[in-house]
Amino acid sequence: MEYQKWFAQALRDLRTAENSLNSGDYYACAFWSQQAVEKALKALLISRGKVVRGHDLVELGYIIRDELHMDVSQIMDNLRELTTHYTTARYPDAANGVPYEIYTEGMARRILEKAREVMEWVRQNLQ
Report the distance separating Cα 64 and Cα 42, nearest Å.
9
This prediction's pTM: 0.96
| Contact of 57 with 36, CB cutoff 8 Å | no
Q: Tell me what the mean pLDDT of segment 91-104 comes to.
A: 91
Sketch out the chain's domains with CATH numbers: 2-125 (1.20.120.330)
For the residues 41-62, what does the mean pLDDT come to? 96
- 53-95 residue pLDDT tens: 999 999 999 999 999 999 999 999 999 999 999 999 999 988 8
Average pLDDT, the chain: 96
Mean pLDDT over residues 104-125, rounded? 98
Q: Is 17 exposed, middle or buried (0-12, 13-18, 19+ CB in 10 A)?
A: buried
Distance CA 20, CA 64 (A): 29
DSSP states along 9-60: HHHHHHHHHHHHHHHT-HHHHHHHHHHHHHHHHHHHHHHTT-----S-HHHH
pLDDT surpasses 70 at 127: no
Contact present, 44 and 122 (Cβ < 8 Å)? yes
